Every structure is written in structure tokens, then in C-alpha cells.
Amino acid sequence: MTLISACRACDAPDLAAILSLGNTPLANSLRHPDSSDAPELTYPLDVVFCRSCSLVQLTETVDPEILFRDYLYLSSFSDTMLRHASDLVSSLIEDRALGPNNLAVEIASNDGYLLKNYVAAGVPVLGIEPATNVARIAEEQGIRTRNDFFNARLARMLVSEGYGADVIHAHNVLAHVADLHGVVEGIVTLLDKNGVAVLEMPYVKDMIDQVEFDTIYHEHLCYFSLTAINRLFQRHGLTVTKVDRVPIHGGTLRVFASHAGQAAVADRSVAALLEEESSWATNPEAYARFGDRVVTIGAELRRMIAELKAAGKRVAAYGAAAKGSTLLNYLGIGRESLDFVVDRSTFKQGLLMPGVHIPILPPEALLDRRPDYVLLLSWNFADEIMHQQADYRALGGQFILPVPFPRVV
């Protein structure tokens, strides 16, 4: 673990504290029941704001070898993610007339959930995935994958091997890397002169407005506004040509970027969002108010669950996701409050949530054990989960949504 002394993007030392979530375990370090009594490492989870370039970021960096070499999150377990990827790829293939003579690259390609859509359309692909176990799954599904971390060094190596990307995807990647400049420079190096980079990252505006404090964990080092992204890209000769706000993951920015030059012309969406952000993105008070609301909402959720338990109600949770680990550990909600957690991922079932050690079971446990209430930790997939759990709800089961304020639905 290393502590930063200056901004990750612009190197300015002027960092303002926003929020501390205390010392928490790594959000995806699920525990085996046989090792539940073993010591568990925790790390500070402190958030600051750069007054110079507006980037919101963590103060601590955990070694990426620890975080990402063996990974339990597989995108293909979410129907929403699969549809999201399919729709995006279809539009890019059509808009850019991509075919067998092109190349689509994805940075942190996970299990190939996105690239498989290019393969089905006859477009060659290359995935770059640091998690050895996940890269193996992608390869087994026919997705050509390089098991490595993406940076400028790897990009130069790929170019020397004859690779050049017409499209580079980086979905929920830039927020995860300590070396922002290395990744962006790598994109510049690998991207064809007429190519496009498509990046998605959680939007800090939605995090603030919806009080999505549980999206803060050690893997998410940075929380971006378009203002911060634009300034970072300009340093490396990239032009943001288009930006969309999409609802996935509680609010996401989808940014399109190309090499700076006459061909890289920004459409109206970029100027419009930068103008809208001028009223808050560089204002420390906007982030300070967010920190205050987190404290208030946390107290309300603890009180709600305590009152349900005092009334003899049985409470479980849905989603052994990283955001769930942050929420439970920050609020101190453990086995005294929640009977179990369910999750669709077979890789997580049978393990324990980090820190609080609540057992993780298959979703069928909701019908088998029929808790009165289910705390929806994976609230970013609320519609999908509520649809899947129609039978449980028909039997009287109710869900608790924790943000932007605790409520029963």
C-alpha cells in the first residue's frame, strides 16, 4: 500500500478531504469458511478532491497484483451487462463499418462478455485481462486474450507485434488504475490514427447526487467528471469527441475519444456537459455536502435494520458485490443483522463476505428460507434482480434499497 502526496492526474499537491470510510478489507477478498478466523488485512478508504483538475480519488493505492491477478467478478453473470455490451458493439460495428480487416481491443476484457459480440460478427479481437483465472475463461470461449496489465509498455509491445486497434474499449478500467498516464499513453500508442477509444466509468455527479458511497472501494482509485477526463486526455493528445450519460452501474459516462487533429471534432454533447459541470465540478463544497449526506444515510439504514430485527423480522441481502462489502463494513452491519447474502455467481457461493463474514448462498435461498426483507446490495441491477425474484416478492418478500436514501420497495 502506498499513500499519494499529489493528484494522480495532474500532480498538484492541493488535495481536499471529502470522506473517510475507515479501514476496510479489500472488497473482493471473499473468505473461505475454513479461514474465517485468520487475520484479515484492512486498508484506509479515504477520499480527496483535487482543487487543480477536479479529480476525486483515493489517498491509498493497494498493489494491483493483490487486487486483480485472481478476480471473482465475471461480467457474464449479469443479463444487464450482456445486453449493454451487445447494444454498444452492434452500434459501433454499424457506425464504423467494422469487418474482418479491423481489430477491436478491450482493456480489462474480463471473461469476454463484450468482445464475443465482435467475434460473432466476424471482427477480429484482442482482450487484455490481468486476472489469470478470468483470462483463462475468456480463452476457453474463443476470445483471444493477453494475460497482462495494460500500460504504455504493453502497448508498444503490441504495436511491435503488428497490432493496431480500430476500436479500443476500456469499460470501468480507468477508475481502477494508479498509473493513469501509462494507460492513456498506451491507448494513444495502440489506437489507429483513425480509430476511436470508447471508455466508460462511473460518473462522479451520479455518485454525489444519489449518495452512492458504496461504489467507493480500494479498486476504484478515481471518480471522474468529464472535466477531469478532458484535462487528462488533452495532456496526451486525445480529443473527447462525444460523451453520453448512460444509466448502468448507477450512472456512467461513456466517452468517445480520438487522436487530436482535424479529424477529431467534438460534437455538441461535449461542450454541453462541460458547461453544465462548470457550476459544480471544481467546487469543493459540492463534495463536502456529499460526505455529510453519507453519514446521515448510514445512520438511517442502521436504524431501519435494527428496528426490523427488534420486531423479529428476518433480514438477508442480495449481491456479494464490492459495493456491498463497502456498505456492510463501513456501517458495521454483520451476522447479527443479516442471516445470509445471495449471489448468482457460482464463484462466490459458499464463501463469506469480507470483514463481516456473512455466508454467501445461491439466490434460491430466498425462496427456501423466505427472509422477510432483503437488503439490495447490488442496487445498480435492481430492475433485473426484482424481475428475477418475482416469486419471492409474490410470497410477501420485500427489498430494501439503501441509496439515495433507505426505503422498502
Structural contact between residues 81 and 89, judged by C-beta atoms closer than 8 angstroms: no
Element (H, E) at 246: strand 238-246
Q: What is the pLDDT of residue 63?
A: 86
- For residue 119, how many other CB atoms are within 10 A of its CB? 17
- Quote the pTM value: 0.90
67 φ, ψ (degrees, to nearest 5): -75, -35
What is the spatial distance between Cα 112 and Cα 105, in angstroms, rounded to a whole number? 11
Per-residue pLDDT of the chain (409 residues; tens, 9 = 90+): 899 999 999 999 989 999 999 999 999 889 999 876 778 899 999 999 999 999 999 999 998 788 776 655 566 667 888 899 999 999 999 999 999 999 999 999 999 999 999 999 999 999 999 999 999 999 999 999 999 999 999 999 999 999 999 999 999 899 999 999 999 999 999 999 999 999 999 999 999 999 999 999 999 999 999 999 999 999 999 999 999 999 887 789 999 999 998 567 789 999 999 999 999 999 989 999 999 999 999 999 999 999 999 999 999 999 998 999 999 999 999 999 999 999 999 989 999 999 999 999 999 999 999 999 999 999 988 999 999 999 999 999 999 999 999 999 9
What is the spatial distance between Cα 199 and Cα 196, in angstroms, rounded to a whole number? 10
Element (H, E) at 170: strand 165-171
CATH 3.10.20.30 fits 312-408, yes or no: no
Q: What is the pLDDT of residue 55?
A: 96
Q: Of 326, 319, 320, give the one whose Cα is nearest residue 351.
A: 320
Structural contact between residues 171 and 117, judged by C-beta atoms closer than 8 angstroms: no
The grid coordinates of residue 30 equal 471473499
Distances (CA, A) of 57 to 81, 211, 218, 266: 25, 16, 10, 27
